[in-house]
A and B are shown apart, each in its own frame.
Chain A
C-alpha cells in the first residue's frame, strides 16, 4: 500500500465532456505531482505543487487544469480533451520536493473518444 490513492481508476470520456481526476495522499507529504504516461513514451511531469502552491507547469495545455486545495489532495480537471490525451495519469507525493523520493498512486487510465 503506497498511501497514495487515485480515483477513478478508469475513465472513458468524449471530447466535449468535463471530468476530474482525484488524488489523495495519507503520508503527511508536502509536495504533490501529476504525471502522464503514454504508451511507448517516458513518464512526463505535468505539474508540481509544494505546500498547495504550484511550482511547475511543464508546458501543459490549458485543457488540463490542476487544483490543490490542501497538501493532501490534488485534482486534475479535464475539459475538451483530444484522443491523444488518452494515457495513464499518475499522481505522486513526496515529503519535500527536493530530496525525498516520490511515492506514486496506481494511476487513472483515461480513454478519450
Chain B
C-alpha cells in the first residue's frame, strides 16, 4: 500500500527566502506526482504535475523534482512571498490507474513572515 509522507508538518520562514518542501513515498511504481496548494476554507489547486518519466517541472517561482528510485520529491519555492502561505500537499498517482486514484500526504503548512 502506497504511503506518502510530508515533513515537516509546519514551516515558517521570513519573506524573501528560498525554501524546500519534502515529500516521500513508499512505492516507486507511480504514474505521476502532483503538488497541490490548499488555502484555508478552500479546495485544492494543482501547482505542478510530474509524470513518472520526468525529473522535474517548473512554473514561475516553483520547481518540483522527482526521484522515483529514492521515493522522493521536493518543491522548491524561490523568493517566498506572504501570498505563498498555505498548506502544500503532495499526491502520488498509482501506476496503471493514472490520476484516478491519488494517494495524498498530510501536507506542510507554510507561513511566510512579512
Query: Which of A's residues lie within 8 Å of B, judged by CB?
Result: 2, 4, 6, 31, 40-43, 45, 48, 55-56, 90, 92, 94, 97-107
Are B42 and A101 touching (Cβ within 8 A)?
no
Determine the chain B residues whose CB is within 8 A of the CB of A2 once the complex forms.
43, 45
> At the interface, yes or no: B89 with Cβ under 8 Å from chain A?
yes
Determine the chain B residues whose CB is within 8 A of the CB of A101 once the complex forms.
34, 46, 49, 99
Are A4 and B99 touching (Cβ within 8 A)?
no
Are B100 and A97 touching (Cβ within 8 A)?
yes
Q: How many residue pairs between the two chains, A and B, have CB atoms under 8 Å in the bound complex?
A: 58
Nearest to B4 among chain A residues (CB) is A42
Which range contains the number of B residues in contact with the other chain?
A: 20 to 34
Interface of B is mostly: strand
Nearest to B44 among chain A residues (CB) is A104
Cross-chain contact of A102 among B42, B102, B103, B106 (Cβ < 8 A): B102
Contact with A along B41-68 (1 / 0, CB 8 A): 1111110010000000000000000000
Are A43 and B104 touching (Cβ within 8 A)?
yes
Determine the chain A residues whose CB is within 8 A of the CB of B99 once the complex forms.
94, 97-102
CA distance A92 to B102 in the complex (A): 12
Determine the chain B residues whose CB is within 8 A of the CB of A48 once the complex forms.
100-101
Are A98 and B100 touching (Cβ within 8 A)?
yes
Determine the chain B residues whose CB is within 8 A of the CB of A98 once the complex forms.
97-100
**Least Cβ–Cβ distance between B92 and chain A, in angstroms:** 11
**Least Cβ–Cβ distance between B96 and chain A, in angstroms:** 10
CA distance A101 to B36 in the complex (A): 10
CA distance A4 to B46 in the complex (A): 14
Are B44 and A90 touching (Cβ within 8 A)?
yes
**Least Cβ–Cβ distance between A25 and chain B, in angstroms:** 12
Which B residues between 73 and 100 are near A, CB-CB below 8 angstroms?
89, 91, 97-100
